[in-house]
Structure 1
Amino acid sequence: MDIALHFINRSTDAGNAHIVIFQQAAAHDLDEPLAALKVIRNPGIDERHDFVAGTDAGEAIWIGAARNVCDEDLVPPELAAGGATLVSFAGIAEATIILSGGGGEPQVFSLTDIVTR
């Protein structure tokens, strides 16, 4: 089942990092790089990005901010090793992911506008 997701940058740290969204299967080999589900490059304040996440790898995504994303949108090692936030969408059909913080405050990802199945 697909989940309709929307990302909005409400942080004060606009344009200084890429947002990387990925899923990780339980059987994933940690020595093998993960491919990003979506990379949002340097999002501006209040910039919105819509995308769809499948549930093949589970009903959760990982999301984090990284300064450098390269190699055809592979997940940076610092995010794959635990520097990302786990967001569960069990029972959710649609939601908005809000990034807040920045400017000396920690960046926080939260779900809003949740539509359940």
Structure 2
Amino acid sequence: MHRFKDLEIWRLSRKFCSDIYEATSSFPETEKFGITNQLRRASVSVPSNIAEGCSRKSKRDFSRFLEIALGSMYEIETQLLISNDLDFIQKNELNCLLQKLDSIIKMTSKFKSTLK
């Protein structure tokens, strides 16, 4: 069993969640229950699933929760691209967020491969 607070992927994804909240704070009010909510919920689910997976007794169960977290990361990537398409987020901020997200995805995938 892992201590989630000791995992770099958990710490980075938790910080990334704050970045998403900050980025979406300037989205249109009409998107409060739309893409803003979807991005925020998906970003919260990443560190949450990593933490929940840490509580599991088997590596297989933990790996499954990491897979769910990775799915949420790809959901975030898609939603950020759509947000840029709709001019809710500027290209430079998008690139910064996508770079951070890509790093977390790679670290999570690599960590997941060590659980086999």
Shared fold (TM-score, shorter chain, > 0.5): no
With normalisation by structure 2, the TM-score equals 0.27
Structure with a larger share of its residues in helix: 2
Larger radius of gyration: 2
Q: TM-score, normalization: structure 1?
A: 0.27
Structure 1 or 2: larger strand share?
1
